[in-house]
Chains A and B, each alone.
Chain A
């Protein structure tokens, strides 16, 4: 149980285009989903926290107009990187916190590798 999927697993796009990444909790409902960014050989940095039905809360320094987050249902959150540039190339990982279980665990997706040319 507690499986989180991400789609796509990798994507290559041209500079200036937008890319959407999906994060789904497959066997549980998630009230909260988190989006992280991981640069090569570095740790995960929290970008934003999204709660179903409300606006996402962004961490300091993260451009909300560039990284659009939508948490439309209890099992789906999307991250759209708008007008992507090479510096946005990174590994994006989402996590989900179950609605009904103890709140001390986040379950992570497998990540999406974005390469912007």
Chain B
């Protein structure tokens, strides 16, 4: 069965610092992997996704993630944090290789300090 583990429920960085949010997955089939961002009282917005091909995926708002099969990881990074990046971030893996069902991690709340 597919599962997602996000290390660290809370991450705090200074404005301008590197953002690193960790995600490890478990999947019995080649995974489709996603990162979503959720602002307070809002739905989820897709940041980026990996399906096949290039393992370094670039998304919106300067975020990127690298699929590492050997490490079963899909960590999210951004070189320089902005105050507007403060939000909840969810990593997700699809079930069955497509996107019929998504299994989400528990989320990581990112705080950006001035």
Contacts and interface: CB of A to CB of B under 8 A. Distances in A.
Contacts of A109: 43
A105 interface: yes
**Considering residues B43, B51, B100, B106, which has the most beta carbons from chain A within 10 angstroms of its beta carbon?**
B43
Contact of B49 (A34, A105, A107): A105
A92 to B, nearest CB: 10
A43 to B, nearest CB: 4
B102 A43 contact: no
Contacts of B103: 46
Main secondary structure, interface of A, reads: strand
A44 B6 CA distance: 14
B43 A105 contact: no
Nearest to B107: A43
Contacts of A45: 104
A108 interface: yes
Interface residues of B, number: 22
B41 interface: yes
Contacts of B45: 108
Contacts of A106: 99, 102
B52 to A, nearest CB: 10
Nearest to B109: A41
28 contacts: A32-B100, A34-B101, A42-B107, A43-B90, A43-B104, A43-B106, A43-B107, A44-B44, A46-B103, A91-B41, A93-B44, A95-B43, A95-B44, A97-B99, A103-B98, A104-B49, A104-B51, A104-B99, A105-B49, A106-B99, A107-B46, A108-B43, A108-B46, A109-B43, A110-B43, A111-B42, A111-B43, A113-B41
Given A91-B41, A110-B42, 11 more contacts: A42-B107, A43-B105, A43-B107, A44-B44, A44-B102, A93-B44, A103-B98, A104-B98, A104-B99, A106-B99, A106-B102
